Amino acid sequence: MADDARTQVMGILNVTPDSFWDGGQAITVDSAVARAKRFEAAGAEWIDVGGESTGPRSSDVSLAEERRRVIPVIRALVRELRVPISVDTAKAAVAREALAAGATMVNDVSALRADPGMAGVVAAAGASVILMYAKDPTTRTTRRDVRYEDVVGTVCDFLRERIAAVRSAGIDDARILVDPGLGWFVGADPRYSYEILAGLDRVRALGYPVVVGPSRKSFLAHDGVHSPRPAAERLMGTAAAVAIASWQGAAIVRVHDVDAMAQVVATVEAIKRPSLVAHSVAG
């Protein structure tokens, strides 16, 4: 993806009962397909399917259960949609089946640390992969506190190490994307997530497409001015974070509210490139 390419919108499709924002809304194949079709119509250029919640209060999901949730949905989406499908998993067996079913990218919150077989699966399939920063090596972030002197520098150092590791495992350089992580994946202090968003130019300097996923996350509850907001009231905060990410050249923004965030991205792109905006003159 070229540096001057416009930001793409990735719709989050959680086929889980316990995701913090949309849990239970797409737990059947039919409901998942219907939701994904709405995303596509609203402007999503990727659909990211996840069968295991990763928040600090979520529970482990067995391989069999994650497979049951994810694989039939991906098969149906590949038949019904035109946009490409990503699978959000840290299990190599789930990724292997998802890629065989038609997914083309693996979004692994552990940056391929949780399952030693994941890098081989991605390499063998010739798939793309998103490597995300997380302070913990597991597939589930914890509430363990952490302090950073330079959070963006820490994120970049981590991503460099993981890039080197997956390249040595045979994953093509052109298929690597990076996600700096936000919210509890980084730490309890919301300041760190804001510092990452402000410093995305340093992440982009790594030379890989950057994926940013701020959607309704807990750090957006704290803006230093208003009382903390529940997830239901974080749409505007999400929009601000998406606008900043798009302005700074993020390749993909990963969001729940596709319709609203596609409008945000389109507006940012129009500001960046006003000469490309189609216009008409009323008679």
Write down the catalytic residue from 202, 254, 272, 273. Answer: 254
Cβ neighbours of 30 (radius 10 Å):
10
254 catalytic? Reply is yes
List the catalytic residue out of 140, 216, 217, 234.
Answer: 217
12 sits in which H/E element: strand 8-14
Residue 16, helix vs strand vs coil? coil
Per residue, the 3-state secondary structure of 126-167, as one string, reads: CCEEEEECCCCCCCCCCCCCCCCCCHHHHHHHHHHHHHHHHH
How big is the chain by its Cα radius of gyration, in Å? 18
Give the span between the Cα atoms of 4 and 191, in whole angstroms.
29
Question: Which of the residues are catalytic?
Answer: 217, 254
